[in-house]
Structure 1
Amino acid sequence: MPAPTRAADDADGPVGSAPMVLLLGRVVIEGAAGRIDSNRQSAAVELVSYLVLNPGADHHAIDDALWPGRLVNKQMRSAVISRTRSWLGKDADGEAYFPRVQDTGDSRYRLDQSVTCDWKVFRTSRAPAWPATTRTASSPCAGPSRSSAADPSPPSTPQRYAWAEPAIQEMVSAITDVAYELSTRRREAADYAGALWAAPQGLLAAEENELLHRQVFLAHHAAGDVDALREAAARLARINEGLGGGVDMEAETAQLLSTLLPKTVIRR
Structure 2
Amino acid sequence: MRGWGCGSRCWGRCGSPAATAPRTAAIAALIHLRPGRTADALCRAMDPANPWSTRTLHTRLSELRSAIGLHTDGQPLLPRPKTGAGYVFHPAVTSDWTQFQTLARQGLAAGPNAGIKDLEAAMALVRGKPFDGRTPPWADPVIQDMLSRITDTAHTLARWQTDSTRPDLDAARHTVHKGLEVEETSEVLYRDLLSIEWAAGNDAAIRRTLARIQQMARTYDITLEDTTEDTITLVLSGKPAPSETNTVPV
Cα distance in 2 for partners of 1:110, 1:22 equals: 20
Residue 172 of structure 2 is matched in structure 1 by 195
C-alpha distance after superposition, 1:150-192 (max 9, x if no partner): 412232xxxx611011110110000000111011111112221
Cα distance in 1 for partners of 2:84, 2:10 equals: 23
Letter in 1 for 2:173: L
1:211 aligns with 2:188: yes
Cα distance in 2 for partners of 1:259, 1:71 equals: 54
Q: 1:28 to 1:161 in 2, by over 3 A?
A: same
Q: Give the gaps of 5 or more residues in structure 2.
A: 110-124, 239-250
Aligned residues of 2:198 and 2:235 also touching (Cα < 8 A): yes
1:166 aligns with 2:141: yes
1:250 aligns with 2:238: no
Q: 1:194 to 1:76 in 2, by over 3 A?
A: closer
Residue 101 of structure 1 is matched in structure 2 by 81
Residue 100 of structure 2 is matched in structure 1 by 122
Identical amino acids, percent of aligned pairs: 26
Q: Give the gaps of 5 or more residues in structure 1.
A: 1-8, 132-146, 264-268
| Matching of residues 48-127 of structure 1 within 5 Å | 48-102=28-82, 107-127=85-105
Residue 129 of structure 2 is matched in structure 1 by 151
Cα distance in 1 for partners of 2:150, 2:77 equals: 29
Report the more deviating stretch, 186-195 or 71-80: 71-80
Alignment size in residue pairs: 219
Q: 1:93 to 1:185 in 2, by over 3 A?
A: closer
Aligned residues of 1:22 and 1:117 also touching (Cα < 8 A): no
Aligned residues of 2:46 and 2:52 also touching (Cα < 8 A): no
Calculate the TM-score normalised by the size of structure 2.
0.77
User: What is the SS of the residue equivalent to 2:208?
Assistant: helix
Aligned residues of 2:3 and 2:96 also touching (Cα < 8 A): no
C-alpha distance after superposition, 1:54-94 (max 9, x if no partner): 12211122011112132544323222222221222123443
C-alpha distance after superposition, 1:6-40 (max 9, x if no partner): xxx999x9x974454642xxx4214x7xxx6xxxx
Calculate the TM-score normalised by the size of structure 1.
0.72
Report the more deviating stretch, 120-129 or 82-91: 82-91
* Pairwise CA distance, 1:111: 1.2
User: What is the SS of the residue equivalent to 1:248?
Assistant: coil
* Pairwise CA distance, 1:106: 6.3
Cα distance in 1 for partners of 2:57, 2:212 equals: 47
Aligned residues of 1:51 and 1:109 also touching (Cα < 8 A): yes
C-alpha distance after superposition, 1:184-218 (max 9, x if no partner): 11111222112211122221221111111010001
C-alpha distance after superposition, 1:98-155 (max 9, x if no partner): 11224xx863211111111010000011112226xxxxxxxxxxxxxxx954412232
Aligned-residue CA RMSD (Å): 2.8
- Please tell me whether Structure 1 or Structure 2 has the larger radius of gyration of its CA atoms: 1
